[in-house]
Copies of this chain bind each other. A is one copy, B any other.
Amino acid sequence: MENAGVQTVSSQRLGKIEGVNPSQIRKDLSMFGSFGHRGFGYEVSQLKAHITEILGLNRKWSLVIIGAGQLSNVFINSGAFRKRNLRIRKIFDDTPELIGKKIKGISVSGMKNLEEEIDPETDNLAIIAVPPNRVQSVIDRLGKIGIKGALYFAARAVNAPEDMVVVNQDVSVELGTLTYHLKARINQGAG
């Protein structure tokens, strides 16, 4: 909206975009302070600044990527990270042809150097893009050196230290959301 030059936005409009009730939008945002104006809506640039701050994206974050496969390449090539103050500092992988090389300017190290080369003081987050059956062992290793946040991609639960925040994203989970919504319609349509 900011790029499109939109200056203010109503909770009605935001609700429509997000697929939720306008009153839910107002309620949720009011949890973080009062920055809308009744009958006027939200000032777009102000709202963006507030949400950026709420999410902690007004500061720089350093992250490492574990696994240099196809999925990692999507992230490395995406402009979305830089735009959100997320800097990919290092990539770890076990492919001999990749170790010591750079991908888009980011150096690749071997998995065996994980503990040595990740600095939990600098590196806030890890993106774990290894096959599902290797996710747990990577989380174990990251947890031990004190990495506080990780995102992994697998429709399975993992164990992580109490003080580590771990979130997962799996496309088949989102597809389950779709099939949940669609099954009722299709059953109706077949009647």
Contacts and interface: CB of A to CB of B under 8 A. Distances in A.
Interface string A52-81: 001111010101000001110111011011
Contact of A171 (B169, B180, B186): B169
Contact of A167 (B75, B165, B167, B177): B177
20 contacts: A55-B176, A55-B183, A56-B179, A57-B176, A59-B183, A63-B175, A69-B74, A71-B71, A74-B74, A78-B172, A80-B170, A84-B172, A86-B172, A125-B178, A127-B175, A148-B182, A151-B175, A165-B178, A165-B182, A169-B169
A6 interface: no
A101 B127 CA distance: 33
Contact of A183 (B56, B81, B185): B56
Given A70-B70, A70-B73, A178 B155 contact: no
Interface string A127-167: 10000000000000000000011110001010000010101
A80 B155 contact: yes
Contacts of A78: 171-172
Given A86-B179, A124-B182, 7 more contacts: A55-B180, A56-B179, A70-B73, A125-B178, A151-B175, A163-B185, A169-B174
